Structures are given as structure tokens and as C-alpha cells.
Amino acid sequence: MKAARLHQYNHPLQIDEVDLPKPKGEGVLVKVSGAGVCHSDIHFMKGEWKDALPVKLPLTVGHETAGYVEEMGESVQGFSKGDAVAVFGGWGCGICQACKGGDEQLCSMPRWPGLSQNDGGYAEYIHVPSYRFLVKVDGLDPKNIAPLTDAGLTPYRAVKKVRHLLNPNTYTLLFGVGGLGCYAIQYLKLFSPTNVIAVVRSEDKANLAKKMGSDFVINSRTNNVIAEVKKITSNQGIDVAIDVVSSNETLTTGMSCLRKKGTMVIVGLMGNSFNLPIMESVLNEFRVIGSLWGNYNELTEVLSLAKMNKLQIPVNHYKLSDVGKAIENLESGKICGRAVLIP
């Protein structure tokens, strides 16, 4: 089968011909219909995470995958060849405290396809170590819903953490309307009456934010975000900021926009650290929380929203052989929605 593999950090992926994996036990071979291209893949390919997530190269990249069951190990139950499935990417051990609590993406010995020592979905087939990590998606087209396994799932968990704070008088500031931000806006509008202010860096993304339902949009290339937020909120400030970029700059700006008892949710992984002003944090009772991916049940909830036709899923399809182009366009901010590789 063909697979787009990383042989060396900071080098382009190579399309290699590799052996088809043979599933055993609980393992399942899934024929990939679509594989989403995520900013995390770029961080990984640049070697930025090589100390935190050491892996042996070459490795097939890709952690947003959906397709059809092709072959199963002898212990697999409840699945048949040809079933349309989404692949949950938090391949937990199943027995640590986080896994027992249902949050396998927080496993103490995490395995993530295409980011740790397991080949990912930029290939014609992906080997999934257990059928526990598959969700049936009858009635949905796997090549379109692949992004829901991360771009759709990650902001879902982040918004769930704060939705009880969002009454009609509140403002929510969202940094970034790329693959994840599109869904963050939709969940905020689905689950709450909050006023959404999206911060973008281009006219295309501004239009996309409005299409997804954002009430206000600030272009940070042409406008001062803090001044615009003051104007929009009549100096009140922001109740919740969700940062799916999380550069040092966006986090610092977001903290400056919070009102008393405001909450910052850190989702993106662009930066490395930012200064938290101690005096203001205590006097204003700020809350700062992190949010990692989503759990299996949350993925089934996201897929249910898609089945109910409640989600817009903007995708740009690329051939697997054009993976380099897809990555280049993602890095330069040219993709509206998610780039999805079609093997």
C-alpha cells in the first residue's frame, strides 16, 4: 500500500510502498477514505515534539482518519467488513486512571496514530490496534467526516468545559478560525446564547467565521484586538476566551481581554509559554484551563451532531500524492476549513 511517511525531521514526506499490516487479536485494518491534515502534524514533522514524543522514523503521519473496515483480528466483535468507521485517536491502555475514567486521550502511556510509535492515516490503510477505538458512522461519508475525529472533537471538549458560564450577556473570544475554530464557533452557537467574537488574520477567514455563525469578527492583521474587544463589549471585556492557536501573543492578548472571573481555555499548541500576571489573576479570579483532544464518548456526540445535520463540515480534498501541497497551504493559512487527503 502507499503511505506518506516522515523519514527525517524537517524533510518533506515521502510516498512509500509499504506492506499491508495484518490485524491480529482486537486489531482492525481500516481502508482510509479521508485523512485530515492538522497543524499538529506540522509541529511533529518539524521535530518540535521529538523530546516529548520520541519516535523511531520512518513513520506514517496522520491522526484524523475515517474509512471502511477491511480486515479484522480474531477477537473483534460487533464489526463487519465494509462498515463505515471513524477512528478515535486516543489509543489508551484501557487500565490507567485516565482510561478508566473514560479519557483515553489522557492515558498515562499515550499512543496516538501518526504522532507516537504507531503509523497514522496518511495512507491507503491504517492499522488500528483495537476495535475499541472505532465508531460506526453509518449514513455519513467517511471522506468528509474524517476531520471530526480531531478538528471537530477538540473544540467540542473545550466548549463543553465552559458552556455553563455562557449566558446571553456574555462574550466569548475565539482565537483562530482554521480547522478547529470553525467547529468552536458552531458549538458555542449550538450550546449557548453567548456573543462570539472571532479573531482571524485574513479576509477569507473572516468570511468563514461569519458563515459559521460568529457574531463579530476582528482581523488582527489590520486591527488592535484589545481595542476592538473594548468597543464590541462596551468596555465590559470577555467572559471566556478559547484559544485554538495558543501562541504566546494570542494568549497574552486573550488574558488582557478577560473581565472579572474570566476563563481562558488553552487548546492550540503554537507557543511555548506566556506570562500570567499574578496580581490581576488573583484580584480578578481568572481561571486558566487546558483542554486536550476529546474522549471516545465525546467523539460519538460530535458524530451524532453530524448525523443530525447540525454541523457544517468545510473540507478541501487533496490526493495523497499532493500531501506536500496540502501541508504548504495549511502552513500559509490558505485553507478554509480542513484539508483532507484522499488516498
Q: Which one of 2-10, 73-81, 107-115, 257-265 is the stretch in contact with Zn ion (CB under 5 A)? A: 107-115
Here the cell at position 215 is: 457574531
Q: Is 150 in the site for Zn ion (CB under 5 A)?
A: yes
> Does 267 help bind Zn ion (rule: CB under 5 A)?
no
38 lies in the binding site for Zn ion (CB under 5 A): yes
CB of 112 to Zn ion, least distance (A): 9
Residue 42 contacts Zn ion per CB under 5 A: no
Cell numbers representing residue 141 in the block: 461519508
- The verdict on 93 binding Zn ion (CB under 5 A) reads yes
Nearer to Zn ion, 99 or 208 (CB): 99
Residue numbers 152-211 binding Zn ion by CB under 5 A: none
* Residues in Cβ contact with 125 at an 8 Å cutoff, skipping those fewer than 6 apart: 1, 20, 21, 29, 30, 31, 32, 70
DSSP E strands: which ranges in 38-129? 59-60, 65-72, 84-87, 125-128
Torsion of CA 215, 190, 252, 50, to 10 degrees: -130
Smallest distance from Zn ion to CB 110, Å = 8
Residue whose CB is less far from Zn ion, 262 or 268: 268
The cell for 248 is 504566546
Give burial (CB, 10 Å; 0-12/13-18/19+) of 199.
buried
Which CB sits closer to Zn ion, 27 or 262? 27
144 φ/ψ angles, rounded to the nearest 5 degrees: -95, -30
- Nearest approach in angstroms of CB 269 to Zn ion is 9
Q: Which is nearer to Zn ion, 171 or 318 (CB)?
A: 318
Stretch that binds Zn ion, among 86-94, 156-164, 197-205, 246-254 (CB under 5 A): 86-94
Binding test (CB under 5 A) with Zn ion, winner from 5, 31, 32, 40: 40
Q: How many residues bind Zn ion (CB under 5 A)?
A: 8
Nearer to Zn ion, 96 or 226 (CB): 96
- Our separate counts of H helices and E strands in the chain read 11, 16
Distances (CA, A) of 235 to 171, 231, 257, 259: 11, 6, 9, 9
Among 45, 99, 212, 238, binds Zn ion (CB under 5 A): 99
Binding Zn ion by CB under 5 A: which of 96, 288, 292, 342? 96
Min dist CB 40 to Zn ion, Å, is 4
Q: How far is the CB of 107 from Zn ion (least distance, A)?
A: 3
Which part of the chain contacts Zn ion (CB under 5 A), choosing from 37-45, 111-119, 215-223, 282-290?
A: 37-45
- Which residue in the set 107, 123, 265, 311 belongs to the binding site for Zn ion (CB under 5 A)? 107
Cβ closest to Zn ion, residue 1 vs residue 93: 93
Contact 122, 45 (CB under 8 A): no
| Shortest separation between residue 164's beta carbon and Zn ion, angstroms | 26
Structure-block grid coordinates of residue 183: 467547529
> Distance (Å, rounded) from C-alpha 79 to C-alpha 39?
32
- What single letter denotes the amino acid at residue 111? R
When asked if residue 87 is in the footprint of Zn ion (CB under 5 A), the reply is: no
Residue 260: how many other CB atoms lie within 10 Å: 12
Asked if 92 is part of the footprint of Zn ion (rule: CB under 5 A), the reply reads yes
E-strand spans in the chain? 2-6, 14-17, 28-37, 59-60, 65-72, 84-87, 125-128, 134-136, 171-175, 195-200, 216-219, 238-243, 258-266, 287-290, 315-319, 338-342
User: Which stretches of the chain bind Zn ion, using CB under 5 A?
Assistant: 38, 40, 92-93, 96, 99, 107, 150
